[in-house]
Amino acid sequence: MIFALYLYCAKWCIFVNCGKTKVVLFNHTPSNTWKCECPVFKYNGEPLEVVDEFKYLGVYFHARTKETCCVAHRLSQAKRLVAAWMRRCQIWCFKPDVVINQFKTCVMPALEYGVGVWGCGKYDSVIWKQVETFWRYIAKCILGVPMCMPSGGVYGDLTWSPFWVRAAHQATAMWTWVSEMPASTIVRKAMYIQRDMLHKGKDCWLKRFKDTLHRASTCGIDK
């Protein structure tokens, strides 16, 4: 595949920066022998570094920790923007509807960027609970109610859902989009591989997506 990439780039005069090009071996637990004899991948004779994680277009891909790294990164990015959003709303004394629009414009894209990819996971994990805590905190700040206010009433006033529901909706939209692609496309072929992994009982995105659909159905989510 690397050689095929080389031929394509040579044909169209595209330069590949080997210093920024990394290799990630997914679902592979290295042994002591593997660490000493790491596989060597080369592009046009230049060796490529093998790394455990790589950030591509703002989304982290990790060899073993899977979605945890992505969730933590998205949460940290959103928290960085919250202070500026709150300060702007307080200075200008915005009405609640403007505050919500500002949040959806300035903070929410950072929080749910790529959620269709990393949004299928174990929603009972520690990092996901932190995301839900952050989501509830924002909802209560918008309404100006105490933190002890029941979350159900706050979500009802804002017509919001827990964040994992938003993640499930976008993951479903991505799955539907890929399923409607022609069978010859690379993304659709990747979904076929996911399906084979699911049938073999291996952990993969499609397995977590199946668990997400089951959770949504048991919770009465029908949107």
CA–CA dist 163, 145 (Å, integer): 19
pLDDT score recorded for residue 28: 64
pLDDT score recorded for residue 78: 92
User: 188 and 154, same structural domain?
Assistant: no
pLDDT score recorded for residue 223: 45
Question: What count of residues does the chain have?
Answer: 223
User: 88 and 38, same structural domain?
Assistant: no
Count of Cβ atoms closer than 10 Å to residue 77 Cβ: 15
- Percent residues over pLDDT 70 in the chain: 91
**Residue 136 domain-assigned (yes or no):** yes
Q: What is the mean pLDDT of the chain?
A: 86
**Residue 37 domain-assigned (yes or no):** yes
Express each pLDDT in 137-175 by its tens digit.
999 999 889 999 999 999 999 999 999 999 999 999 999
User: 178 and 151, same structural domain?
Assistant: no
Evaluate if residue 27 carries a pLDDT over 90. no
**Residue 185 domain-assigned (yes or no):** yes
Choose between 42 and 116: higher pLDDT: 42
Express each pLDDT in 67-76 by its tens digit.
677 888 889 9
User: 201 and 117, same structural domain?
Assistant: no
Residue 218 vs residues 125, 214, 221: alpha-carbon distances, Å:
19, 6, 8
pLDDT score recorded for residue 162: 93
Residue-wise over 18-27: b if at least 16 C-beta within 10 A, else e? eeeebbebee
* CB-based burial label for 188 (10 Å; 0-12, 13-18, 19+): middle
Express each pLDDT in 111-127 by its tens digit.
999 888 877 777 888 88
**What is the total count of domains within the chain?**
3
Evaluate if residue 87 carries a pLDDT over 80. yes
Which residues span the domain enclosing 114?
67-168
Which residues sit opposite 54 in a β-bridge?
A: 61
pTM as predicted = 0.77
* Angle made by CA atoms 155, 105, 212, in degrees to the nearest 5: 50
**Residue 61 domain-assigned (yes or no):** no
CA–CA dist 76, 118 (Å, integer): 15
